[in-house]
């Protein structure tokens, strides 16, 4: 087992990464001096792991709530269902929530913990690669609104993250690959050595070999923890974690958030950001090429779906949440491992990248 600490003063917390951690009574007890615990999971993950987690919580007053599986349930209504359950059980401010599942379960449970009686403790037990390397770490919680994703939320750090790598064995291949997109992201934005390591170990990762997985998750969490420690509430540097996300969200929106997974859209978005960075003369041509090769080995797409053309994509990028006053800012690369957030890329260069990738002519996976 490995451990990363997210350093945030009094809100610091550990991220544990290893095999078969879900059933560890000791580990759970260490972070749950609370008497009352509500485990929130979904209809896919619950049947696989809930019993084991509940067994490890025998010393607490424990209940569970199973929500439907899927992004469309990341809503204020489901958050309210969690609150209703807490109130029915007469859970007080000392109670704790436990999020057992992927990003949706983690985000909606974390948000419920952020607002129940103005904030209670919660633990993240992520069971997808994406959640283990990204969404479960850093305290971003949210639900979707019909007019926008993650529009209602809070920064609320968990008391601990327990990432059991054994749960990844049951993950569908596409979801596993989608998680790898965020892993690759850390190499691109701030860790060139990790990028090289990924090039050397992608085959082992795709085989889901335990040691390689643990190393990749550990290194991802180290990078994420460093960024979050520097800028908890995304006032500055934390925005580099959104590399590829503005392009990606445009793709997801064009597809009505169906068909493509978030990580798949981010993969293409990162490649587009790298392409734009190369056009600006910031990146050597080999970096986008290396990235493309790596994404392919991870079975990730390298171009938007043919239905999304350049103009539509530019339109959709305008309404991105990250768009602050004064022009669309993008996360770009000034070198492999050096990301910047900037509005200074020139509309003409952006247009070139969009037309290169989103004209229906671009090479599709």
Which residues are catalytic, by number?
A: 118, 140, 182, 224, 234, 238, 242, 245, 249, 262
Q: Examine residue 94 and tell whether it contacts a copy of itself (CB under 8 A).
A: yes
Q: Examine residue 11 and tell whether it contacts a copy of itself (CB under 8 A).
A: no
Q: Examine residue 118 and tell whether it contacts a copy of itself (CB under 8 A).
A: yes
Q: Examine residue 59 and tell whether it contacts a copy of itself (CB under 8 A).
A: no
Query: Least distance in Å: CB of 352 to a copy of itself?
Result: 27
Q: Examine residue 256 and tell whether it contacts a copy of itself (CB under 8 A).
A: no
Please identify, using beta-carbon distances, which residue of 200 and 325 lies nearer to a copy of itself: 325
Q: Examine residue 88 and tell whether it contacts a copy of itself (CB under 8 A).
A: yes
Nearest to 161 by CA among 127, 118, 184: 127
Query: Least distance in Å: CB of 118 to a copy of itself?
Result: 5
Return the residue of 59, 72, 151, 307 that touches a copy of itself, per CB under 8 A. 151
Count CA within 13 A, CB hemisphere, residue 109: 30
Q: Examine residue 153 and tell whether it contacts a copy of itself (CB under 8 A).
A: yes
Q: Examine residue 149 and tell whether it contacts a copy of itself (CB under 8 A).
A: no
For residue 50, give the 3-state DSSP assignment: helix
Please identify, using beta-carbon distances, which residue of 196 and 328 lies nearer to a copy of itself: 328
| Strand 36-42 with 61-67, pairing | parallel
Separation CA 78–CA 84 (nearest Å)? 10
Please identify, using beta-carbon distances, which residue of 139 and 187 lies nearer to a copy of itself: 139
Q: Examine residue 197 and tell whether it contacts a copy of itself (CB under 8 A).
A: no
- Token digits for 309? 């053309």
278 Cβ neighbours under 8 A, 6+ residues apart:
284, 285, 287, 288
Q: Examine residue 84 and tell whether it contacts a copy of itself (CB under 8 A).
A: yes
Return the residue of 5, 43, 233, 334 that touches a copy of itself, per CB under 8 A. 233
Stretch that binds a copy of itself, among 138-146, 164-172, 202-210, 273-281 (CB under 8 A): 138-146
Q: Extract long-range pairs of 50-59: CB within 8 Å, 24+ residues apart.
A: 50/100, 52/22, 52/23, 53/22, 53/23, 53/28, 53/98, 53/100, 53/125, 55/23, 56/22, 56/23, 56/24, 56/25, 56/28, 57/25, 57/28, 57/32, 57/98, 58/25, 59/25, 59/29
Q: Examine residue 92 and tell whether it contacts a copy of itself (CB under 8 A).
A: yes
Q: Examine residue 328 and tell whether it contacts a copy of itself (CB under 8 A).
A: no
- Token digits for 160? 């601990």
Separation CA 284–CA 356 (nearest Å)? 18
Residues that bind a copy of itself (CB under 8 A): 35, 76, 80, 83-84, 87-88, 90, 92-94, 114-119, 140, 142, 145-148, 151-155, 233-234, 319, 321, 323-325
């Amino acid at each position: 087992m490995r451990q990363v600490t997210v350093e945030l003063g009094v809100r610091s917390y550990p991220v544990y990464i290893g095999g078969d951690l879900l059933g560890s009574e000791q580990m759970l007890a260490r972070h749950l001096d609370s008497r009352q615990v509500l485990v929130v999971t979904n209809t896919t993950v619950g049947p696989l792991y809930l019993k084991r987690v509940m067994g490890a919580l025998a010393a607490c007053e424990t209940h569970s709530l199973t929500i439907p599986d899927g992004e469309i349930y990341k809503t204020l209504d489901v958050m309210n269902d969690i609150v209703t359950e807490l109130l029915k059980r007469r859970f007080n401010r000392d109670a704790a929530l436990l999020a057992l599942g992927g990003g949706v379960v983690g985000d909606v449970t974390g948000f419920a913990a952020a607002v129940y009686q103005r904030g209670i403790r919660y633990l993240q037990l992520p069971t997808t690669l994406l959640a283990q390397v990204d969404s479960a770490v850093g305290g971003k919680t949210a639900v979707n609104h019909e007019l926008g994703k993650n529009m209602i939320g809070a920064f609320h750090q968990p008391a601990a993250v327990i990432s059991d790598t054994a749960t990844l064995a049951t993950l569908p291949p596409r979801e596993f690959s989608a998680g790898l997109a965020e892993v690759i992201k850390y190499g691109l934005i701030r860790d060139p050595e990790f990028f090289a390591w990924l090039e050397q170990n992608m085959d082992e990762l795709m085989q889901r070999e335990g040691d390689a997985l643990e190393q990749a998750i550990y290194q991802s969490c180290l990078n994420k923890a460093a960024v979050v420690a520097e800028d908890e509430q995304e006032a500055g540097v934390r925005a580099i974690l959104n590399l590829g996300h503005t392009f990606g969200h445009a793709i997801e929106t064009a597809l009505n958030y169906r068909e493509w997974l978030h990580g798949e859209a981010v993969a293409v978005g990162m490649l587009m950001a790298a392409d734009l960075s190369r056009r600006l003369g910031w990146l050597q041509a080999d970096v986008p090429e290396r990235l493309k090769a790596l994404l392919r080995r991870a079975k990730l797409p390298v171009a938007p779906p043919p239905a999304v053309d350049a103009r539509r994509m530019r339109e959709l990028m305008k309404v991105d949440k990250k768009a602050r006053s004064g022009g669309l800012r993008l996360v770009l690369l000034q070198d492999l491992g050096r990301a910047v957030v900037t509005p200074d890329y020139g509309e003409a260069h952006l247009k070139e990248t969009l037309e290169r990738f989103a004209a229906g002519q671009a090479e599709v996976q």
